[in-house]
Amino acid sequence: MKFGVIVFPGSNCDRDVAMVVRDLLNQPTRMVWHEESDLSDLDVIIIPGGFSYGDYLRCGAIARFSPALQATMRHAEQGKLVLGICNGFQVLTEAGLLPGALMRNRDLHFVCDRISLKVERTDLPWTQEYQKGQIITLPIAHGEGCYYADADTLAALEDNRQVLFRYCDASGAATPAANPNGSLNNIAGICNRQGNVLGMMPHPERAFDPMLGNTDGRNLFEGLLLGMQAIGTR
Amino acid sequence: MPVSIVSLNKTVTQTYQARIYVTLRLSVLDPAGTAVQSGLKHLGYNNVERVRIGKYVELTLTADDEAAAKQQLDRMCDQLLANPVIENYRFELLETAEAKRL
C-alpha cells in the first residue's frame, strides 16, 4: 500500500511520519507538496502535525483550501483512508471531513506530555490491532486540542461510535483530571461516519520506534496494513 | 459571458471598507476571556462580568453596489474568516471611494 504524507509550509511532523511508514514499515511512501492536486496513486493519505500556513486565522483554516487537501477530500469520498494527526486533525475539522472544532486548550497552555488513552473501538483498520478498552500511552504536543462540538453533534458521535480514542486515567476512567485540554467527553480522536477518516491529537508516529522508548502507536500503523490487505481481497 | 463584459464596461464600481467582527458562539467556553476577566478583577474591576475575546478583521473590496459587497462578505465569512461551528460574525460596510470608472 502506498502512503502519501502532505507537506504544508509549516508542517513539522511530516518526516517523522515518513520515517515510520517508509523506513520502519517498508511501505512505498511519497511526500506530497501542498500544491499537488493528483493523489490518485495513493492508498493512505496522512496529514501530519505542525503549523500549516503558520496556523494563521485558525489552526488548519488555510490548509483546507490547498490543492492537496481538495484532492484529499476526493480521496476520502471514495472511501479511502485518511489520517490527520494533531494539526492534521485540525485541518480535517476545518475541511468538514470530521465534525466539530479544535479550540484553545482549557488551561491556555501548550501541553507537551505523555497521556493515557482508552481505545474505544477495534472494528476499524485504525484500531483492529488493539484490544477493546485497552489503555495505551501516546505523546501529545498541542496548544489547540480542546475538542468542541454542539450537543447534537456530540450525541451523534457517541451514538455512531465515532470516538476511537479517549483521554483516561490509569484505570481507564475518562475523568476531568485525565483530560489534558478540556476536550468534550475526553475526546482525543474521532473518525467519520464511514470510518475511513481518522483525526487524533496524540502522535502515534512518535511511539513506534523502540529507540524512542514507547511503541504504543505501532498497532495503529500495523493494523492499517492488515485492514488494507483485507479490503484488497474483498 | 458577453453580457457581463458589456455591463462591466459601463458599471461604476464602488470601493467599500468592511469591518468584520468574529465572536465565539455563546455556547462555547472562552478560557482566554475568563483569564482576562480574572486579570481585570485583580485590578479591582469587580463589576466586570463576562469577557469574551474575538477577532476583528478590516478589508477593502470593490463591488457594483452595497448588496453585492454584503453578499460577498457573507460568503467570505462562512468559508474562511469565521468557523461557523464555534463562531458568529457580523460586519459593517463603509463606502470609501466614489465612482472609479472601469
Contacts of A62 in chain B (CB under 8 A): 80
Answer yes or no: is pLDDT of B8 > 90: no
Are A148 and B28 in contact, with CB atoms under 8 Å apart?
A: yes
Name the residue ranges covered by the structural domains of chain A. 3-233
Q: Can you tell me which residue has the cell 465515532?
A: A162
Residue A226 has what pLDDT? 87
Three-state DSSP class for residue A189: strand
- Cβ of residue A212 closer than 8 Å to a chain B Cβ: no
Three-state DSSP class for residue B16: strand
Domain count, chain B: 1
Hey, what amino acid is at A189? Answer: G
Report CB contact under 8 Å: A104, B28: no
Distance (Å, rounded) from C-alpha A53 to C-alpha B9? 38
Are A189 and A217 in contact, with CB atoms under 8 Å apart?
A: no
- Joined together, the cell numbers standing for residue B86 give 464555534
Answer yes or no: is pLDDT of B98 > 90: no
Distance (Å, rounded) from C-alpha A102 to C-alpha A114? 19
Report CB contact under 8 Å: A101, B27: no
Alpha helix (H) ranges present in B1-102?
2-10, 31-42, 66-76
Residue B11 has what pLDDT? 61
pLDDT in tens, A15-62: 999 999 999 999 999 999 999 999 999 999 999 999 999 999 999 999
- Joined together, the cell numbers standing for residue A126 give 485504525
Neighbours of B58 (CB within 10 A): 9
Q: How confident is the model at residue A153 (pLDDT cuts 50, 70, 90)?
A: very high
Q: To the nearest whole angstrom, how far is the Cα of B49 from the nearest Cα of chain A?
A: 19
pLDDT in tens, A49-98: 999 999 999 999 999 999 999 999 999 999 999 999 999 999 999 999 99
Which of B30, B51, B85 is the mutation pick for testing A, counting most A CBs within 10 A?
Answer: B85
Between vectors from CA B87 to CA B68 and to CA A7, what angle results, nearest 5°?
90
Contacts of A65 in chain B (CB under 8 A): 80
Q: From edge to edge, which strands make up the β-sheet containing A135-142? A: A29-33, A3-7, A44-47, A81-85, A197-200, A187-191, A163-167, A111-119, A135-142
Residue A85 has what pLDDT? 98
Q: Which residues pair with A197 in a beta bridge?
A: A82
Contacts of B32 in chain A (CB under 8 A): 104, 108
- Joined together, the cell numbers standing for residue B79 give 468559508
pTM reported for the whole predicted model: 0.90
Residue B1 has what pLDDT? 47
Closest CA to A200 of A192, A190, A209, A210: A190
Report CB contact under 8 Å: A104, B32: yes
Residue A160 has what pLDDT? 97
Does residue A222 have an active-site annotation?
Answer: no
Which one from A86, A146, A168, A191 is the annotated catalytic residue?
A: A86
Distance (Å, rounded) from C-alpha B89 to C-alpha A152? 22
Residue A228 has what pLDDT? 58
Hey, what amino acid is at B85? Answer: V
Report CB contact under 8 Å: A106, B80: no
**Count of H-run helices and E-run strands, chain A:** 5, 11
Answer yes or no: is pLDDT of B10 > 80: no
Report CB contact under 8 Å: B86, A108: no
| DSSP for A196-211, written as a single string | -EEEESS-GGGSSSGG
Contacts of B81 in chain A (CB under 8 A): 57
Report CB contact under 8 Å: A101, B83: yes
Q: Could you tell me how many residues make up chain A?
A: 234
Distance (Å, rounded) from C-alpha A21 to C-alpha A48? 12
Which of B26, B28, B86 is the mutation pick for testing A, counting most A CBs within 10 A?
Answer: B86
Does residue A168 have an active-site annotation?
Answer: no
* Residue spans of beta strands (DSSP E) within chain A: 3-7, 29-33, 44-47, 81-85, 101-103, 111-119, 135-142, 146-148, 163-167, 187-191, 197-200
| DSSP for A84-103, written as a single string | EETHHHHHHHHTTSSSSEEE
- CATH number, domain with residue B45: 3.30.1280.10
Average pLDDT along chain A:
95
Answer yes or no: is pLDDT of B45 > 70: yes
Does residue A77 have an active-site annotation?
Answer: no
Answer yes or no: is pLDDT of A172 > 60: yes
Distance (Å, rounded) from C-alpha A164 to C-alpha A130? 11
Distance (Å, rounded) from C-alpha A15 to C-alpha A29? 11
**Count of H-run helices and E-run strands, chain B:** 3, 3
CA end-to-end span of chain B = 17
Q: Can you tell me which residue has the cell 522508548?
A: A213
Answer yes or no: is pLDDT of A136 > 50: yes
Domain of residue B95: give its range.
2-101
Contacts of B28 in chain A (CB under 8 A): 103, 148
Answer yes or no: is pLDDT of A220 > 60: yes
CATH number 2.40.50.180 is the correct assignment for the domain at A3-233 = no
